[in-house]
């Protein structure tokens, strides 16, 4: 039984709370959030203790592991504090919006990076994980093309956009990690940003859609198609094409019902609304993998370096989108 | 090049006319219909000669084969006349509504039945034919269950119903043949008729829906689900389940487009409206198979006996539906 | 929070145990099983107490509700004991294999039947429940045809068959309830039994496949297609066809992955192996619905009478299969 | 009835020959090919005359229209000769591999470009055409993203590659036209070429895969994913995503059969082998549209300018792929 402190009690914390309920090997002991009353809303039903003070939760004797789902700017400090306190860490993406702060964290961790796992939950989606296992087993031969469609249902609010770090660091970063799940060594990035949805996003200097192309060291090319708005739900698809065949993850439907009428056949309900619904199994799988790795001393994966590499790709994509030039990555992006 | 006379110039004749256009091995030389002007409508565009007199067409020197698509009560006479004239015959189903007339025909043909092929076009549908070939090759092992869904888009007009011979002889007869395509020896028939659509059908003493269950000599059971109305088009599906697996023919869509919007995903257009659209390839395949068999002297299949057996099953189903008892077939229904 | 005693610790109990883990409103307090050690295997991880004595669990002060998943012959006694002890009951199907024992139970309950809910879990499958809600709302108009395909992955062992009560009472009973979910008033039943899979099933006087046809008071006809063996998994499908359209529940796949290679496209994994995997959400939904109804004093549904009616249909189907005659139900089968 | 001369008797001519057979409004009168015997193979079955001399066919009195399917380097001369002879022209893509020759042609035509239609057959594919009609009608709102997957089944032979003009002019050119079908004004092009399949393609200085991104004047972005090898057939898909929803053309299957067995469910046959099978309806539709436009005096579309614009995009994509820079198109690419 692994005992957890959860830092942050927002939307993503709610998703994790559901995983705790269903996981017999995890126990949520503490929830910390500086907003009065926030921690209680999650701690109460879970039978955990609530606090305003993250450090109290991190350092509690009955805590083995820390789940960081506080706002991005706090991640670096929380990770460091938790590792200093001897706790294993599962941290939501991204590590930070600033590469220099990420590098400072790595310096400060000084060899203890292996205590930290990044919350790239999609690696644990049952369909994506199945594709990964089968690709690794050679089912499609050598990977030549990866295509990701990743569209949010609706644009985030103006304030969110302002502090998000931009579409590539905030939204595409999950897709960058998914590309690296299949093609860890990316050597070139190009990107086309779009402003077709919300004027306030353009005004904030951000894009509301993007197509990003990444070339791997082995010549494979990955394409990521993003939009901040999608009327039919959260559009999340993946295809991995190789010399021997292709594996494709269709989007997930809320049930298996199809309707038929005078003007249509085989109609389904729209796709799940957003990540909380779409990736509920992925969050559960991520928690289980973290627990298993901590238990067995196995490597925590995706690693902090995976988190850093996703950020490297986000920076490169932004630069490419703004310059109209392919960005060549300065050094191998392989995991150290 | 096989030269044809077509008897009858109605709806089904139009379907065949399209097959002639596309088939380089067939030539339509004569079209006969007693309704003034009817034959011309098909003969004209096809460059064929029109006549009011079926016998003129049948006996023409430049005719090798006769395609009978005149009204059902004329079939027996037309078949006999064509065979007497030394022509090969492709006749629309059913042979006749009366079993005694069918038996009279067989007596009169006196061994020349092999000159006649029955127009059970669905055997030539690309999907059903593919399933048949694969089942024959053993892909699903021994056949245990056959399920056919066969729904017409809309009830036929009152006058049609009156002279149709009833749902089993008129509509289900195609499905009976499809069952026999996979399970030629049927030993028992039960059926549940329905009257849920059009009062005038009940008033005519006919059913507007039916579920028929047929047991084969080897223990397999086939189920046919019929309805005279289907809002989403012509619902034509087949599944053949066996000891090793299953082959399933989904319905055919007009194109491969799916639409996505706020209240739906993966929506297709309705199914093809009716048999002329749905079975266009089946009609073409049927004509090609007939020509090939005539050319090579191969057996004409489905045979006249297949036509008789389908009628045997239709009679049994009607009896079963009216009595609430399973009808055991008096004699083996295998092809003579 | 509803506190439960679970009677029986076999396979189906394991399925329910998972629902308890995930349901924050339910607490498993006792598990009873006469086989030494059996109850502990479920009670232990759940933090519940184990006992060999069902009555101890039923009568415990800290138990509000009893979940009966002991062998079928014990159901009647357990239901009665639990109701006598003032507890709400959720009982696995069937009530009993003997109609006279069911009637004795009803007499003994003497008006307290409303304290009992039958475990027809499939009513709570997300897809079937969605179809039911939409049919009830009128989306397909008046229901005319219901088609259920329900195939087990593999034949049960010889001993199981011997005490199962036969395919109709053991397996089809779930499908009978599903038919009644849409068409509560069944007036006629016909059935064709098959023996094509395992000789020992025929030797035991049972069938290993069946097609059952049921006519409702409103003229609708339902068809149930059963097999005790299915190489591609647990084949569970439903379609409800009406005057305005159709709703169809496709089978459930383990994930959304499709593979493509030299000899195939769009290939999925086989269907879920069996009911524990296929209906995991249905079991969870059933428990939640039971808790909600107990809490609010709402009706427990499906009711004991629903359980009795499913048994009536099973008896009728068996009689029809053995006699080759349609069985007319002697009295309205509506819920009392 | 429009009377045709067909120039060239190769593979693509065979595809068109089938359209002539099925089209009652077209008559193939002449087939010209400089290879002795080649023209006869198509002319014979079609009842047309064969010649080695293209000009004889072009200038024949019984010819109204010329179908140019001779090798690319001859297109310009053939178009010019046919227009000079007063004939309408349907010309296979591309006009020429050299933009300067294209411009010379336009100069020589001197206002008679409207007599020429380009053979971008995919615009007439039933699914793509349906999507276009619905997008034009506003069904998806304003178009924001177009995604095309277009993969050939196998790399062409070495000699073909040498004279093909490169992947962008030879293969992607169809996709460029499809992008322009939805987004006629392209303002920027980027591309990533790949060499992962056949070393001889790299040696020839060509790519064997590519991802191309195109930005339209309205901010929409289109992505084209190409590969010269695809084990599961000819992979041809399209999706058009807009502010209100999405329309998607799935690939086409040879029939509607799905198979189920111990290790799989819902498996289909591979996709059609190549363009002759996949686009058979598109070729027929193209011919019909050409005939209709000639008959009614309506505009021939896609136009010669559409052919030129596709070539502009091919040149831009090649430049972008080789430079790693986004290419801004110098002038509006709208149809003159």
User: Which pLDDT does position D256 carry in this prediction?
Assistant: 96
Instruction: Tell me if C231 and B245 make a contact (CB, 8 A cut-off).
Output: yes
Q: Which residues are bridge partners to A150 per DSSP?
A: A226, A236
Residues of D within 8 A of A232 (CB-CB) are 245-246
Instruction: Tell me if A264 and B253 make a contact (CB, 8 A cut-off).
Output: no
Residues of C within 8 A of A260 (CB-CB) are 245-248
Instruction: Quickly state the pLDDT bin for A331 (edges 50, 70, 90).
Output: low
Q: Rounded to whole angstroms, how far apart are CA atoms D249 and D240? A: 9
Average confidence score pLDDT of chain D:
95
Could you tell me which chains touch chain C, where touching means 3 or more CB pairs under 8 A? Answer: A, B, D
The DSSP secondary-structure symbol of A113 reads: G
Asked if A215 and A143 touch (Cβ cutoff 8 Å), the reply is no
Of C245, C251, C261, the CB nearest to A261: C245
Mean pLDDT throughout A111-139? 97
| pLDDT tens-digit series, residues C275-307 | 888 999 999 999 999 999 999 999 999 999 999
B163 touches chain C (CB under 8 A): no
Same fold: D2-92 with D123-283+308-328 = no
Of A126, A247, A258, the CB nearest to C259: A247
User: Which pLDDT does position B333 carry in this prediction?
Assistant: 46
Instruction: Quickly state the pLDDT bin for A336 (edges 50, 70, 90).
Output: very low
Size of interface B-C (CB pairs under 8 A): 109
User: Which pLDDT does position A332 carry in this prediction?
Assistant: 55
How many percent of chain D have pLDDT more than 90? 92
| Mutant choice from B28, B125, B259, B288 vs D, greatest count of D C-beta within 10 A | B259
D272's enclosing H/E stretch is: none
Q: Rounded to whole angstroms, how far apart are CA atoms C40 and C52? A: 10
Instruction: Quickly state the pLDDT bin for D24 (edges 50, 70, 90).
Output: confident
User: Which pLDDT does position D34 carry in this prediction?
Assistant: 96
Give SS3 for C156: coil
Tokens of B325: 């008892």
Helix axes C304-323, C172-182, angle to 10 degrees: 110
Instruction: Tell me if B264 and A261 make a contact (CB, 8 A cut-off).
Output: no
- C2-92 CATH, one of 3.40.50.720, 3.40.630.10, 3.30.70.1520, 3.60.20.10: 3.40.50.720
Tokens of C237: 């499908």
How near does any CA of chain D get to the CA of B64, in Å? 21
Q: Rounded to whole angstroms, how far apart are CA atoms C130 and A269? A: 11
Residue C63 has pLDDT above 90, yes or no: yes
- Specify the CATH architecture of the domain D123-283+308-328: 2-Layer Sandwich (3.30)
Residue C96 has pLDDT above 60, yes or no: yes
How near does any CA of chain D get to the CA of B251, in Å? 7
C150 touches chain D (CB under 8 A): no
Give SS3 for B316: helix
Instruction: Tell me if A261 and B232 make a contact (CB, 8 A cut-off).
Output: yes
**Torsion B140-B143-B147-B152 (CA) sign:** positive
Whether the upstream peptide bond of residue B97 has omega within 30° of 0, thus cis, is no
Could you tell me which chains touch chain B, where touching means 3 or more CB pairs under 8 A? Answer: A, C, D
In chain D, whose CA is at the least distance from the CA of B259? D247
Q: C168: which residues sit within 8 A by CB, 6+ positions away?
A: C176, C191, C210, C212, C313, C314, C315, C317, C318, C321
How many percent of chain B have pLDDT more than 70? 98
| pLDDT tens-digit series, residues D161-171 | 999 999 999 99
Size of interface A-C (CB pairs under 8 A): 79
How near does any CA of chain A get to the CA of C23, in Å? 8
D21 touches chain B (CB under 8 A): yes
Instruction: Tell me if C188 and B192 make a contact (CB, 8 A cut-off).
Output: yes
Instruction: Tell me if D264 and C270 make a contact (CB, 8 A cut-off).
Output: yes
Q: Taking a contact as any Cβ pair under 8 Å apart, which residues of chain A between 68 and 127 contact chain D?
A: none
Tokens of D327: 């290419």
Instruction: Tell me if B245 and D262 make a contact (CB, 8 A cut-off).
Output: yes
| pLDDT tens-digit series, residues D35-49 | 999 999 999 988 999
Instruction: Tell me if B45 and D22 make a contact (CB, 8 A cut-off).
Output: no
C144 touches chain B (CB under 8 A): yes
Residues of A within 8 A of B265 (CB-CB) are 232-233, 251, 253, 267-271
* Cβ-based neighbour number of residue A35 at 10 Å: 11
D301-331 burial: b if 16+ Cβ within 10 Å, else e = bbbbbbbbbbbbbbbbbbebbeebebbebee
User: Which pLDDT does position D112 carry in this prediction?
Assistant: 95
How many percent of chain A have pLDDT more than 90? 92
Instruction: Tell me if D269 and C264 make a contact (CB, 8 A cut-off).
Output: yes
Average confidence score pLDDT of chain C:
95
Instruction: Tell me if A245 and C251 make a contact (CB, 8 A cut-off).
Output: no
Of A251, A262, A270, the CB nearest to B264: A270
Q: Which residues are bridge partners to A4 per DSSP?
A: A28, A65
Q: Rounded to whole angstroms, how far apart are CA atoms D334 and D321? A: 23
Instruction: Quickly state the pLDDT bin for B21 (edges 50, 70, 90).
Output: confident
Instruction: Quickly state the pLDDT bin for B331 (edges 50, 70, 90).
Output: low
Instruction: Tell me if B257 and D246 make a contact (CB, 8 A cut-off).
Output: no
Of D262, D265, D268, the CB nearest to C265: D268
How near does any CA of chain A get to the CA of D231, in Å? 6
Instruction: Tell me if D254 and B126 make a contact (CB, 8 A cut-off).
Output: yes
Tokens of A60: 């509690």
| pLDDT tens-digit series, residues B168-218 | 999 999 999 999 999 999 999 999 999 999 999 999 999 999 999 999 999
In chain A, whose CA is at the least distance from the CA of C245? A261
How many percent of chain C have pLDDT more than 70? 98
C180 touches chain B (CB under 8 A): no
A154 touches chain B (CB under 8 A): no
| pLDDT tens-digit series, residues D230-286 | 999 999 999 999 999 999 999 999 999 999 999 999 999 999 988 888 999 999 999
Nearest one of B168, A62, B256, B97 to D249, comparing CA atoms: B256
Say what the alpha-carbon torsion angle A265, A269, A272, A274 is, to the nearest 10 degrees: 100
Asked if A63 and A57 touch (Cβ cutoff 8 Å), the reply is yes
C268 touches chain D (CB under 8 A): yes
- End-to-end CA, chain A: 31
Mean pLDDT throughout A45-68? 96
Of A244, A247, A256, the CB nearest to C257: A247
Average confidence score pLDDT of chain A:
95
Residue D336 has pLDDT above 70, yes or no: no
| pLDDT tens-digit series, residues D54-75 | 999 999 999 999 999 999 999 9
Tokens of B158: 């009152």
> Going along C262-320, which residue ranges are E strands?
264-267
In chain B, whose CA is at the least distance from the CA of D20? B22
The DSSP secondary-structure symbol of D95 reads: S
Of A139, A249, A256, the CB nearest to C127: A256
How near does any CA of chain A get to the CA of C258, in Å? 5
User: Which pLDDT does position D198 carry in this prediction?
Assistant: 95
Residues of D within 8 A of B14 (CB-CB) are none
Asked if C63 and C57 touch (Cβ cutoff 8 Å), the reply is yes
Mean pLDDT throughout C185-198? 97
Instruction: Tell me if A246 and C257 make a contact (CB, 8 A cut-off).
Output: no
D269 touches chain C (CB under 8 A): yes
Q: So where are chain D's domains?
A: 2-92, 123-283+308-328
User: Which pLDDT does position C333 carry in this prediction?
Assistant: 45
| Mutant choice from A130, A257, A283 vs C, greatest count of C C-beta within 10 A | A257
D267 touches chain C (CB under 8 A): yes
**According to DSSP H, which parts of chain B are helical?**
11-22, 38-46, 54-59, 75-84, 99-109, 126-136, 158-162, 167-170, 172-182, 199-203, 275-278, 280-296, 304-323
Q: Rounded to whole angstroms, how far apart are CA atoms D258 and D285? A: 29
Could you tell me which chains touch chain A, where touching means 3 or more CB pairs under 8 A? Answer: B, C, D
Residue C335 has pLDDT above 80, yes or no: no
D5's enclosing H/E stretch is: strand D2-7
Instruction: Quickly state the pLDDT bin for B332 (edges 50, 70, 90).
Output: low
How near does any CA of chain B get to the CA of A155, in Å? 15
Q: Taking a contact as any Cβ pair under 8 Å apart, which residues of chain C between 230 and 259 contact chain D?
A: 231-233, 251, 253, 258
Say what the alpha-carbon torsion angle B58, B61, B67, B69 is, to the nearest 10 degrees: -40
Q: Rounded to whole angstroms, how far apart are CA atoms A50 and A36? A: 10
Asked if C257 and A131 touch (Cβ cutoff 8 Å), the reply is yes
Residue D332 has pLDDT above 70, yes or no: no
Tokens of C195: 């023996």
Q: Taking a contact as any Cβ pair under 8 Å apart, which residues of chain D between 40 and 69 contact chain B?
A: 45
Instruction: Quickly state the pLDDT bin for B264 (edges 50, 70, 90).
Output: very high
Instruction: Quickly state the pLDDT bin for B334 (edges 50, 70, 90).
Output: very low
The C-alpha angle D231, D232, D238, rounded to 5 degrees, equals 115
- End-to-end CA, chain C: 31
Instruction: Tell me if D267 and C268 make a contact (CB, 8 A cut-off).
Output: yes
Give SS3 for C79: helix
């Amino acid at each position: 039984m692994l005992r957890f402190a959860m830092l942050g009690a927002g939307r993503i914390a709610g998703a994790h709370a559901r995983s705790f309920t269903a996981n017999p090997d995890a126990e949520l002991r503490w929830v910390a959030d500086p907003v009065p009353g926030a921690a209680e809303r999650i701690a109460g039903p879970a039978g955990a203790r609530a606090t305003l003070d993250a450090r109290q939760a991190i350092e509690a004797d009955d805590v083995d592991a820390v789940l960081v789902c506080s706002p991005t700017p706090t991640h670096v400090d929380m990770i460091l504090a938790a590792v200093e306190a001897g706790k294993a860490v599962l941290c939501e993406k991204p590590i930070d919006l600033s590469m220099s702060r990420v590098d400072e964290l790595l310096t400060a961790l000084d060899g203890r990076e292996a205590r930290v796992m990044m919350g790239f939950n999609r690696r644990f989606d049952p369909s994506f994980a199945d594709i990964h296992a089968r690709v690794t087993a050679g089912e499609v031969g050598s990977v030549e093309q990866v295509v990701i469609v990743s569209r949010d249902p609706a644009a985030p609010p103006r304030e969110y956009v302002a502090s998000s770090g931009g579409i590539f660091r905030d939204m595409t970063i999950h897709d960058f990690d998914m590309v690296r799940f299949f093609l860890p060594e990316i050597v070139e990035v190009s990107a086309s940003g779009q402003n077709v949805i919300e004027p306030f996003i353009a005004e904030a200097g951000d894009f509301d859609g993007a197509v990003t192309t990444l070339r791997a060291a082995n010549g494979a090319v990955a394409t990521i198609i993003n939009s901040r708005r999608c009327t039919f739900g959260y559009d999340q698809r993946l295809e991995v094409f190789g010399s021997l065949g292709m594996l494709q993850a269709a989007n997930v439907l809320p049930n298996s019902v199809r309707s038929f009428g005078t003007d249509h056949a085989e109609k389904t309900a729209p796709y799940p609304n957003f990540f909380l619904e779409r990736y509920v199994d992925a969050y559960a799988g991520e928690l289980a993998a973290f627990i298993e790795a901590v238990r067995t001393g196995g490597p925590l994966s995706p690693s902090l370096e995976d988190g850093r590499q996703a950020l490297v790709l986000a920076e490169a994509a932004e630069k490419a989108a703004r310059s109209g030039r392919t960005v060549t990555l300065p050094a191998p992006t392989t995991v150290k």
